[in-house]
Structure 1
Amino acid sequence: MKQMQHMQTPCLLTCLLFVTALPNAYGNEVKEENNQTEKQHCETKDCANLEHIQVNGQFIGIEVPEVIGRAYLNRDFINATPKGNGDINELIALLPGVQLSDEAMSIDSLAEITAPEISISGAQPWQTGFSLDGMNYNNRVDPATSSRLTASANDVSGGVQTMNVNSDIVDSITVYDHNIPAEYGDFSGGIVDVKTKSPFLTGDSGSIAYRTNQSDWGQYHIIQGDEEKVSETADALEPPSYTKENLDLSLQKRFNKHHGVLFSVNYMQSEISDLSLQTMQTQKRTNINSLIKYSYRDGWIDKLDLTAMYSPYQSDAYLKDVAASDYKLEGGNMGLIANFANDTKFGYWDTKINYSRSDSSREGPEHYFSWLQIKGKEWGQLADQGDDIRLSQEGGYGNLDTVQDTINIKSSLDVPRFEWLSMEHDIKLGGEYTSQSVKRDRDQDSYNYNAPQYIFNPNNPLDCNGYTLDCVQEQYRVDLTTLAEQFGGTFNFNDPEQSLAYAENTLVAAQYFSSRQVTPQEHIDVSLSRQSLFITDSLKWWRLSLNLGLRYDYDDFLKNHNIAPRLSVGYDIFDDGNTLLTAGANRYYDASLMSYKIREQQRFSYREYRPIRDSRLQGWQPSAYTGEFKYQFDELDTPYDDEIALGLKHATQSFGNFSVKYVRRLKKQQFSRVRSDEVSEDGYKYIRMTNNGTGSSKRYSIAWDARFAGHSLWANVSYSENKASNLSYDADADNTPLEELVYYQEGDEGRAVSLSQLQMLKTNFASPVIANIGWNVDWLDSLSTGLSATYKGAYDNAVKTTRLESYGLTQECSTCAIETVYLSVYEKREIEARIMVGLNLRFNYEFVKGQNVELRADITNLFNARTNTVTEGFSGVEPGRMYWLGASYNF
């Protein structure tokens, strides 16, 4: 092939071994059926990115001896590894330096089908860059929200990624965690580079597959806490009832040596039934991954791939223990991708052009009510709210629609290798352009009524003055005059008999809301463009391999010229390509700029109050607590991470590959907020952003993988410490938007904190020790198994509870009493260590040549261990052993 003419033998040999050995390779042996895979991967120019290492036929595992810090998971690894929903993040979480979110093991996530969040090298989940065939699918609108399945007034909760990528459509996954090349930018964690299947890998083929998982097949742990902490509904604790189904269809047709087409669709749905207000209710989730790809090879151009993707997500849900709260979430991604490459006299030219549109919308009740739990509003008695708060909650957060459009063009040139100054040089240079726009629409104000007041005055009853939505007048079985006649015409409430009669005659008690939180209608339309240039010179001299890289970025929001050096070096200790000592010093600039630009225009909630005179309700008026906030991003530097990495990688003839790494990140110029107590002339309190935030992470990792006959084994262990701080900011209702306030409880002490502060606490509580091990075996031609186990050490975390905490605001008006709002309570709790084991069994039966049926079973939490997501002293439910069963027809 033309694009391989300038490549030298060591690079070609490395590429061939690299793609065939993961994880089912046998050292020197190269199987005939893998020839197409070998050619295809070398066609994509992966060879040019590998280090020039002399390979003597040893096993090449998940990590190869190279300076770049990356792991490669091929289709064999994906098939063999036990899986639950099948999202690729489940696989990535098995690699060193990667942490799975705490919520991934909870009972609430068991029935869900969305991707669990991951953190790479101590970064926040949204600081990792996700790419599929060159198309970025990061959510830049509200990436800090913990789950796309919850809702709040100002967020649809679209999650870190704009779509959930099922592993059934994936050919390979490359994960970069340190010494990341200069061609990658807009991240401060890691890079996840996903390649979809290609018709040139397997030729003419197709498959139909079905998998299912049901709650009745699983086991559960019902945890009863200490008597003092047992909730009133603890005796009624039950796991959710659900059914999950996964249908996959794939067709690949290679018409000739030039043309091929692939069609793939993966459909997953989950129906969840759970108790809400002691009534069984059902929610439904659906997720689709579909693509059609046309591929062209070795004609007027060496490589051309045209792909159309459609990956919608929908959730029909409700707010637990909230009446009349049904809402619908719609999200997902649509993308058009054009990738083409050609070998020219100037070098190997590779260009990727893509357009994507992701949407995240919510339809639901416009207003949220927190009624007092009294006559006529008693349903809150069926919910567990703790001992102090007695509310009956109703409604939702209104409609909100967000659309994100992205155009990305990236082009690079691999210059043919040449020798200069007694050194071999491989130069890769290129540029990237990204244009992104976001439209966010809320068509009407949404009210959160959260300051209920009870009135008991039979002689002067409450007059709602026409307000029927947020005020309730007393209603009786018989009128008070008739009832009073039974006691001589008047009531004496000091008489227990008369008081009881009055209470039994009351159908609805009088109450109203004295203040409300207003989330105003808004129409935001923001855009951002970013330009980048990058160059890397891969040098080979004596026993040294050096990657000297530089990346330049500019965006039209912060308007900073950012220069990021990427320097890494490898020393071949024994000059045989088997033992490599590595070091690196790199800078990575963050990329969550679009979400900051949205915040700059976003209108946060404000307060309104209404007085009452002689039991007659008055109209709504602006509160002294305006709550009119705006963010200010002026003259800020771009946050970045400086990385120092040290490593030792060793490949053996008989015992596989070993690697030891130390990765240190210093987070600098991080965004932080300063107090905003004064109201400016335009009526807003400006939250001024500074670069005073700091942070750090360090990680020690050891990894090993090997192949012995039909057995593939791998293992890794990591110890990490993460820290984040923002000492210049204290949160209270006067300087923080109310929707960003929560209540944090640590022992007997509690305080209001912002969501950003809470995220810092959770970062500082990160798990220090994580270990993974895997064992994949082909016992027979028709029988294979895969076993994986994960150990996660004990750690502290900020855990959300079902409780609410009353929080006093400044006076609404000069004659008003101090009002209160109710904040969600998070508690510091210790999460005990846990070990999770998964097992995969596959039986393949070929009944006609070229046609076979595969039966598959995936078992998560094989030994029915506790996940420890319910902490000591508290009540709850934990998932135990769970089963996925499936069958596929392949032809």
Structure 2
Amino acid sequence: MFCKNVFKRGLACFAAACLLAAPCASWAEQEPAPQDQAQPAPAGEDAAQAPQVAYTMEAVVVKDKASSSATGESVIDQDLLQNLPAGNGSINEMLKVLPDIQFSEDSRSSLTGGEILPPNVSISGGRFYENNFSIDGIGNNSLLDPAADNPNTMNDVPGHPQEFFLDADLVEQIKVYDSNVPASYGGFTGGVVDATTKRPGLRYSGSVKYRTTRSDWASFHIGGGETGEYDFEHSDSYLKQPEFEKHEFAAIFNAPINDSMGVIGSYNTLWSDIPLRHLDGSKTQTRRNQNFFAKYAWDLNDSNFLDISAACAPYEGKYFVRNAMNSDYIIKAGGARFLADYTHAPLDSGPLKVKLSYRESENTRESPQHWRLWATTDTFSWGKINGSETSAEGGFGDIEKTQKTLTTSLDKEFNEFDTWRIRHSLQAGFEYEQTAGTFTREDTTYVYKDARISPDIICDDDCFDAVAYEQFFTTRNVYPEDDAEANINLYAWYLSDKLDIWRISMTPGLRVTVDDYMDNVNLAPRFFMTLDVFDNEDTVLSFGANRYYARALLTYKLREAKKPFYRETRTSYHNQLTDWELSSLSGSSTYSYSELDTPHSDEIAVGIDQALLTGTFSAKYVSREGKDEFARDYGPVQSDGLRYFTMTNDGESSHESYRASWEKSWKKHFLSMSCNWQESKSSNPDYDTTLEDDETSSQIWYKGDLIYLSELPAANYNRPFIGKLTYSGKLPWGFTFTSHTSFREGYLRIEDTGDVKPLPDDEGGVDPITGDSLATEAAVYDEVQYEDAWIFDVKLSWTCNYYRTQKLTLSVEVENLFDEISRVGSDSEEYEMGRLFWAEAKWEF
């Protein structure tokens, strides 16, 4: 209701402004004075004609481009962020203009057009959860099972690599490192994505924005012929979303307080409605992400600056279990963060930066407490709707997972000094991070199954697990109430020295990390050098050799602390129910932690930046070898009746990429072209892949051989060649046009053909743990050719300037303009979304 009221008021203000505003200025008059360069009014000048009073905070220069060099650092500035086709508006979606970044194959799937979570990205071959995401230099990584994505898991909650889903409207610039990452960054084996939020400007200003799209504005591409299209159109699962509506509302207000301080505040919400079939009717699932943000900036004097910011970014998804009665549940994520950022930058010394941050996030489920799988009868008849012998009811119980992190950091840049003919620029820093994770199930959850029809059974009228004279449950899994905790204290020190001699610049560095989880001392050497061949920056050669260490996850430590579920059975005696008893087949799986090495990646990077055709041409080669990476092993049954998943260092990976790019900015235009060839190999797609062969692993047929599913090569984030072209230009009469074109080379991928083949006679049987019958046949996998794909996204905006700084901007975004049919994902019916329109209206004042 709050969001709807704000939205209505915003539209009312927007409409009033349109009616009262003066006619639009001509195109030649539409370039307003730079907002962040206002100066105090000269003495005696009429205040009505003078600019707003400015305070002394340094103005931000907007370059309207995305610079990407062979050094490994790329920057996307604010103007390009505003002009790019935004999709759902997340920071991750803005990264599509940069080379050596690959998105998940299903990130723009036609099947799930209503989802709003940021897409997962791989940087320089790293797994999607192995990046360092940070906001204003403070981490934004979730350590609570970031690879989990199934909302229907019985004893867990889906996670995401990021704690907070920050909207790109709040970002001043995005800095990305895909190689040669400075020693001041750690906790990754992929890349670094550091977003800098907006700082208060120098005058009163603000904006109100509304965007929307919907399934009626989309072209769906669905495989599987008529059957696949019918199943999609009549879907009752969040995995197939034939209808959706998305709406985004945003408001930002900037206010200087006096000559030296100011505040900026904003609210943004993106929500999606997804109608689906449910039993013999329909029901709407929803997704909502909100951003509350405020920053206070105080320039104490010419050399001391203080920024204090606070943000709250809750996410909520409402689901139901397909074919189940009374099964609505809610998934919550996101959280809140606070940051105090102090900079001491005297003229006679390098700056000292001190940051203190606290953040708290959650992955939580609110659900009916128990799950009951009734036998379908006249009493429990809804199973007949889909021809099932069972009628499901309920949910999997409430679960709360939290992550609380306290961070403090100091970074010092020292004055340059000379020794012999070498100029030194030292930088040193220290970081301390304390992270606490919790897993809480407040009440025991029962999963009832194996209902037995019994017309003579006697029980109370309010009996929860039986119906008098009809049926009762003979088996239940018990998920006991639980309260697990895990803590990690991490310390990091780093030192680097930029050495300038002649035309050569070298930056050796070292980052040392220690944490009380892995209990390892990790030394990560960094080395980067450049040669300015002609001493005019027209031709610069670069070389880097670096080691990066991953971050310790709370996932396994929490799993180890959790109580395992167990199984109980019962029967009847003289038409009376017997007591529940522990089953002789009650053994289940749990987790055991053992001391491990910290996963790391060794990198070699060679590149050149060359001035060419009034632009910059860059070429780079990157090689990485990932070692001691996390995987898991599944051991035999122990004396306590349990089998243990154990984390191991058996994972490994490799990545090679060759990249070439050219970019140019001139007047009101920006053009960037890049192509990237890469090959990534990995022993396991994530830390939950079991590398040891055991009877719990899924077996498949491939090329006539019976193998385990985990033995197949990687099938995601592995397109061999990608080309990108981005153009943004300000045109006459207030128009701005931005396009992003990408070419993805086709490749062979190993997939399920839909066929099955019997297992050998010695396979199958009965699972010794659960007592369930094992499969007697296995799926047949084969190579599937994915075709080349050209995807063309555009955004066209028209801006009408009104009195002084007031202006109206109307925009249309089109994703996949030419409605390209592109196969993606692992499902034979899954294709990329076809042509999709977004409409936007924005009022600035």
Please indicate the TM-score interval, normalised by the length of the shorter structure.
0.7 to 0.9
Which aligned pairs between 1:786-865 and structure 2 lie closer than 5 A?
A: 786-795=738-747, 809-811=766-768, 818-819=772-773, 831-865=786-820
Alignment partner for residue 647 of structure 2, among 671, 684, 689?
Answer: 689
Taking a change above 3 Å as real, the CA distance of residues 550 and 886 of structure 1, as seen in their structure-2 partners, is same
Give the alignment partner of residue 636 of structure 1, picking from 590, 596, 614.
596
Give, in whole Å, the separation in 1 of the partners of 2:98 and 2:128.
Answer: 15
SS at match of 1:194: strand
Secondary structure of the equivalent of 1:597?
helix
**Deviation at residue 158 of structure 1 after TM alignment:** 2.7
Aligned amino acid, residue 294 of structure 1: Y
Name the SS of the counterpart of 2:325 in structure 1.
coil
The runs of 5 or more residues in structure 2 that have no matched partner are: 1-30, 40-53
Distance 1:516-1:415 versus aligned 2 partners, 3 A rule: same
The alpha carbon displacement at 1:668 in A equals: 0.9
> Helix, strand or coil for the counterpart of 1:599?
helix
**Kindly, what percent of the aligned residue pairs are identical?**
29
Task: Tell me which of 705, 715, 723 is aligned to 2:681.
Answer: 723
Contact 1:307–1:337 (Cα < 8 Å) also in 2: yes
Q: Choose the corresponding residue for 1:672, options 617, 623, 631.
A: 631
Q: Aligned equivalents of 2:80 and 2:792: distance in 1?
A: 17
TM-fit CA distance, 1:640: 0.8
Work out the CA distance in 2 between the residues paired with 1:239 and 1:688. Answer: 37
Distance verdict in 2 for CA 1:663–1:461, change over 3 Å: same
Q: Which residue of 1 aligns with 2:44?
A: none
1:247 aligns with 2:232: no
Deviations 1:64-122 (A, max 9, x none): 5563x111000111012111111111111331111112231223431122211111111
Deviations 1:653-704 (A, max 9, x none): x341111122111111123333411414x55433333322222122222222
Cα distance in structure 1, aligned partners of 2:778 and 2:585 = 21
2: CA distance, partners of 1:671 / 1:241: 39
Q: Distance in 2 between matches of 1:761 and 1:158?
A: 24
Counterpart of 2:161 in structure 1 is 160
* Secondary structure in structure 2 of the residue aligned to 1:784: strand
- Report whether the alignment pairs 1:225 with 2:182: no
Given the alignment, which residue of 670, 673, 683 partners 1:712? 670
CA distance in 1, matches of 2:808, 2:60: 33
* 1:604 corresponding residue in structure 2: 564
Task: Give the equivalent residue in structure 2 for 1:623.
Answer: 583
Aligned length: 783
1:789-845 CA deviation, whole Å, 9 max, x = no partner? Answer: 2222334668899999999753579xxx75569999997765443322211011110
Q: 1:249 to 1:812 in 2, by over 3 A?
A: closer
State the match for 1:365 in structure 2.
368
| 8 A contact 2:102–2:717 mirrored in 1 | no
Q: Deviations over 1:449-474 (max 9, x none)?
A: 46x3666xxxx857476795555677
Per the alignment, residue 702 of structure 1 pairs with 660
Asked if residue 569 in structure 1 is aligned to residue 529 in structure 2, the reply is yes
**1:766–1:796 CA contact under 8 A, matched in 2:** no
The answer to whether the 8 Å contact 2:219/2:819 transfers is yes
Following the alignment from structure 2 to structure 1, what is the Cα–Cα distance between the partners of residues 379 and 781?
A: 33
Q: Paired residue for 1:521?
A: 481
| C-alpha deviation, 1:852, in angstroms | 0.9
**Residue aligning to 2:20:** none
Q: Distance in 2 between matches of 1:579 and 1:98?
A: 25
Correspondence 1:500-579 to 2 at 5 A: 514-579=474-539
| Deviation larger for 827-836 or 416-425 | 827-836
Alignment partners' CA distance in 2, 1:629 and 1:640: 29
Contact 1:724 1:764 in 2 (8 A): no
Aligned residue for 2:311?
309
Q: How much does 1:372 deviate?
A: 6.0
Out of 756, 759, 779, which is 2:731 matched to? Answer: 779
Cα offsets for 1:723-770 (capped at 9, x unmatched): 222698335566xxxxxx7776768988776xxx49x85457732222
SS of the equivalent of 1:530 reads: strand
Question: What are the ranges of 5 or more consecutive residues in structure 1 without an aligned counterpart?
Answer: 1-29, 48-58, 476-509, 735-740
1:435 CA displacement: 0.6
SS of the equivalent of 2:297 reads strand
Partners of 2:286 and 2:319 within 8 A in 1: yes
Letter in 1 for 2:212: T
Supply the AA of the counterpart residue of 1:102. Answer: E
Matches within 5 A, 1:162-201: 162-200=163-201
Q: Which moved more, 1:441-450 or 1:80-89?
A: 441-450
Check the 8 A contact 2:539/2:610 in 1, yes or no: yes
1:168, distance to aligned residue in structure 2 (A): 0.9
Partner of 1:888: 842
Q: 1:791 corresponds to which letter in structure 2?
A: F
> Structure 1: how far apart are the matches of 2:603 and 2:60?
25
Tell whether the 8 Å contact from 1:60 to 1:656 is kept in structure 2 after alignment. Answer: no
Matched, 1:651 2:652: no
* Distance in 1 separating the partners of 2:262 and 2:778: 54
Aligned equivalents of 2:604, 2:668: Cα separation in 1: 38
SS at match of 2:99: coil
- Give the TM-score, by structure 2 length: 0.84
- Counterpart Cα distance in 1 of 2:716 and 2:249: 40
AA at the equivalent of 1:62: A
Counterpart-to-counterpart distance in 2, 1:745 and 1:288: 46
Q: How far off is 1:151 after superposition? A: 3.3
Pairwise CA distance, 1:856: 1.2
Question: 1:848 Cα deviation (Å)?
Answer: 1.2
Match of 1:215 in 2: 215
Equivalent runs, 1:440-519 vs 2, <5 Å: 440-449=439-448, 452=450, 463=457, 469-470=464-465, 514-519=474-479
Give the direction of change, closer, same or farther, for the CA distance of 1:747–1:323 in structure 2 (3 Å limit): farther
My pick for the range that moved more, 169-178 or 158-167, is 158-167
Q: How big is the alpha-carbon RMSD for the aligned residues of Structure 1 and Structure 2? A: 3.9
Contact map agreement 2:133 2:192 (CA 8 A) in 1: yes
Equivalent position amino acid for 2:203 in 1: G
Separation of aligned partners in 1, 2:101 and 2:733:
33
Matches within 5 A, 1:373-412: 379-380=382-383, 382=385, 392-412=391-411
Relative to structure 1, the CA distance from residue 693 to residue 299 in structure 2 (aligned partners, 3 Å threshold; closer, same or farther) is: same
Task: Give the aligned residue type for 2:679.
Answer: E
Equivalent in the alignment of 1:293: 295
Equivalent AA in structure 1 for residue 160 of structure 2: G
TM-score for both structures, normalised by structure 1: 0.80
Distance 2:575 2:626 in 1: 57
Aligned AA for 1:214? R
Return the alpha-carbon distance in structure 2 between the equivalents of residues 74 and 643 of structure 1: 27
Q: Please say if residues 452 and 474 of structure 2, whose CA atoms lie closer than 8 Å, have aligned partners that are also in contact.
A: no
Shift of 1:297: 1.9
State the Cα deviation string for residues 370-398 of structure 1 (Å, max 9, x = none).
556677656456559xxxx9765443221
Query: Is 2:332 the counterpart of 1:333?
Result: no
The verdict on how the C-alpha distance between 1:822 and 1:699 changes in structure 2, with shifts beyond 3 A counting, is: farther
In structure 2, relative to structure 1, the CA distance for the partners of 1:465 and 1:187 (3 Å cut) is: same
Note the alpha carbon deviations across 1:577-605, whole angstroms, 9 max, x for none.
12222111111111033223212212333
Is 2:67–2:76's contact at 8 Å kept on the other side of the alignment?
no
- Shift in alpha-carbon separation, 1:616–1:864, aligned structure 2, 3 A: farther
Look up the equivalent residue of 1:703 and give its one-letter code. Answer: S
Task: Say whether the 8 Å CA contact 1:239–1:877 is kept in structure 2.
Answer: no
Instruction: Provide the C-alpha distance between the structure 2 equivalents of 1:733 and 1:465, rounded to a whole number of angstroms.
Output: 40
Distance 1:773 1:402, change over 3 A: same
Query: Cα distance 1:354–1:392, how it changes in 2: closer, same or farther (>3 A)?
Result: same
Q: Is the 8 A contact 1:742 1:826 kept in 2?
A: no
